[in-house]
Amino acid sequence: MQNNQIIYSQPQEKRSFLSRLCSCFEYFKKNPKQENQYHPEIDSPKSSFIGQRKIIVLDLDETLVHSQFQHFDSYDLSLDIVVQSQNFKVFVIVRPGIKQFFDQLNQFYDIILWTASLKEYAMPVMDYIDPDRKAVERLFRDSCTPLKNGLTKDLTKLGRDLKDVVIVDNSVFSFIMNPENGLKIKDFYFDKFDKELETILPFLIWISQLSDVRPVQIQYGEFQKKKRLEKKSDEQQNQYGISKSVTIQRKKLNRKSLIKTLTEHVMERARVGKEDTNESEKETFEMGN
C-alpha cells in the first residue's frame, strides 16, 4: 500500500485507556501456556529456555500481501472500504505459502500482526489471511510511533523482553527503534511464484529456540551460510559417491575386458595348436604311404 496515500495519510486514531486495557486482557486470554513443539526437520539448538514461546511480529503490506486501488487480474481479494465517509475499492494479492507459514509459526511463536495501515482496510485483510485467528493480537496505525520520516513500530510497547521478540517487515524503518530484532523480508508485489515465506520459515523456527534472538539479521546471515556449507558438503559427498561408483564400474569393465582378452588368447592358442597338430598328422600319413 506504499502508494495508497488515502489509507496511509490519515491521522492517528486515539485509543482510550479502557480500550487499551481491554486489549491487554484479550491478549493474555488468547495467550495460554502451550507445550513447545519442534519441527522434525530442523536441528534446533537445545537449551534451558525451551518451553518459553517467543513473539513474532508480522507486517502486512508488501510483507504478507500487496494491495492497490487499480484493478489487476491476479488479485485474491477485493474490498469495499469506507474511510472518512468516502468509498474505496481495494484489490489484494496474497503472498504464496502464507497458510503453511502461519500454521508452522503458530507452533513456535505467539503471532502478532502489526500494520501501519488503517484498521478499516487492514482488519478484513487480516480476516482473510488469518481466518483461524492464529495471531494472538492485531495492531494497527494507532499503535505505531510517529517519527520525522513516518511511522515505526516500537517493540517495547509489547511489554516483553526484546530478546524474545522478532519482527518480520519489508521496511527497515518499521523497526528502526529496535534494529537488532528485525528481519527484513524481500518486497512482495505480484509474483505468484514467490517463495520468500518458505525460504525464511526454517530460520524462524530455528531461532525460536535460542535464548536471545538478537541480532536477528546477522543470525539469518549465519544460518544461510551454514545451510550453504551443508549443501556444498552434501553435493561433494554425492559427487564422491558417483566418482567412486564410476571407478568401481571401470575396474569391473577392465577386469571383464582382461578376462575376455585372455580367454580369446587361450582359445586362439588352442585353435592354432590344433591346426598344427592336424597338419603334422597329415604329413606323417602321406609319408607313411
**Residues that are catalytic:** 59, 61
Provide the 10 A C-beta neighbour count for residue 32: 7
Q: Which residues fall within 8 angstroms of residue 29, CB to CB, at 6 or more apart?
A: none
Strands 182-184 and 65-68, bridge-based pairing: unpaired
Contact in structure between 96 and 192 (CB atoms under 8 Å):
yes
